[in-house]
Structure 1
Amino acid sequence: MQDNVSKLIKVCNNLYDKQLASGKSGNVSIRLDDYIAITPTLKAINGLNEDDIVLVDMNSNTLTKGNPSSEVGMHLAIYKKRNDVNAIIHTHSPYTTGFAFSNKKIKRLEGFGQIKNPYIASIEYEEPGSEELALNASEAIEKEDVLLLKNHGVICVGNDLDEVESLAIFIEESAKTQFVSYILNSVKDIK
């Protein structure tokens, strides 16, 4: 377990260093048998240590000291719905979240693997940390690897932390590329 928690902390620091998470926003979890390890609430994602990571069973019971992320319900709902998911990253990365606040969709570019849908799936806004968000997100991500949360952020899921971290980086780069394209296409030539 200690190696898994160390890896989770490393991924959190990477997300911060790559500017995908800042301040006290975002959360990361991994499945460990019949419980999860998740980042704490109201604590910056960078600079965490092993004692900060909170263990929670599948019934939302906290097994260690500390308070889990306010999005623990969403993480648990996804793990219960998806046996193939062993890691989840939820961020408010700037470009991806910018799209989540706009009416524009993020195109699925090459690099996402098999492209089943032309755009990243999204759900309507629900209060962060709410049961409604947990339910709607877990249902919408049932056949997806990335999900935009309207006016909120993004969720990435996968088999392990490496896969999910790569996905979080790739979705942000895709959003950034599309944002630049929108800007460049809106520039008019001076005559």
Structure 2
Amino acid sequence: MNDPRTHLAAAGARLAALGLSPGSSGNLSVRIDDRVLITPTGADLAAIDPRRLSVLDLAGTHLDGPSPSKEFPLHSAFYRRDTTTRAVVHLHARHATAVSCLPPWSPRSAIPPLTPYFVMRVGQTPLVPYAPPGDAAQADALEQLPFPLRAVLLQNHGPVLAGSTMARAVDAAVELEEVSALLLALGQRSPRLLTSDEAGVLARKYDSPWGER
């Protein structure tokens, strides 16, 4: 079970079972040394064939396998900006995508510190301005963001999350969807947020990226 291809396929099945990957939306990748394995274009995450993954280099050049997802520039950007990243998850999850259509809470995070687990498992999640799916310039903008992060919301599109393992990237994706659902459920109310000190304590303890408003 240490085969990264098998882990990727299992992660896709889990995300699909949770309803976070409707239809053939979403894409997953893992980094192995200087190569990236990514789901092919049009792949159904519920039924990924681990033997049929696209192989890219870190620049995004297609080396082997079927045609990669058109979102591969986003994955490449995360791998290039942080050498500890070993997996990337991009979804069209309903609640996170809904939040991506709203004004961001701050320049560094579309979502406020609503729960401790959002700060611990996801961290600050900036809203990246809209671009057509697969736009290389949007990926370049993500790569150049001048503060630490392991998740973004693509405006009017959905979340992209990175992790040091596929399991951590998937857990972050699940947590982001949950906090997004809570935020939407609160509507126009003014909820209590974690204070700066409270969020800072969690961020330091769990080595999570979080900054000031």
- Aligned pair count? 184
Aligned to 1:189: none
8 Å contact from structure 1 (residues 21, 45) kept in 2 = yes
Distance 2:17 2:43 in 1: 16
Rate the CA distance shift 1:102–1:5 in 2: closer, same or farther, 3 A.
same
Matched ranges for 1:66-105 at <5 A? 66-103=66-103, 105=110
Aligned to 2:112: 107
Moved over 4 A (4+): 113-117
**What is the percent sequence identity of the aligned residues?**
24
- TM-score normalised by L of structure 1: 0.87
**Are 2:175 and 1:170 equivalent residues in the alignment?**
yes
CA RMSD, 1 decimal: 2.4
What residue identity is the alignment partner of 1:36? V
Partner secondary structure for residue 70 of structure 2: coil
What residue identity is the alignment partner of 1:168? A
Aligned to 2:158: 153
Rate the CA distance shift 1:36–1:126 in 2: closer, same or farther, 3 A.
same
Alpha-carbon distance, 1:27 to partner = 0.7
Aligned to 2:148: 143
Partner secondary structure for residue 88 of structure 1: strand
Partner secondary structure for residue 134 of structure 1: helix
Distance 2:78 2:147 in 1: 8
Partner secondary structure for residue 51 of structure 2: helix
Distance 2:57 2:147 in 1: 21
8 Å contact from structure 1 (residues 54, 64) kept in 2 = yes
Distance 2:86 2:97 in 1: 24
Rate the CA distance shift 1:86–1:142 in 2: closer, same or farther, 3 A.
farther
Rate the CA distance shift 1:113–1:182 in 2: closer, same or farther, 3 A.
closer
Distance 1:77 1:52 in 2: 23
- TM-score normalised by L of structure 2: 0.79
* Ranges in structure 1 where 5+ consecutive residues have no aligned partner: 187-191
8 Å contact from structure 1 (residues 97, 152) kept in 2 = yes
Rate the CA distance shift 1:102–1:25 in 2: closer, same or farther, 3 A.
same
Aligned to 1:123: 128
* Ranges in structure 2 where 5+ consecutive residues have no aligned partner: 105-109, 191-213
8 Å contact from structure 1 (residues 82, 142) kept in 2 = no
Aligned to 2:198: none
Partner secondary structure for residue 75 of structure 2: helix
Alpha-carbon distance, 1:111 to partner = 1.1
**Are 2:24 and 1:24 equivalent residues in the alignment?**
yes
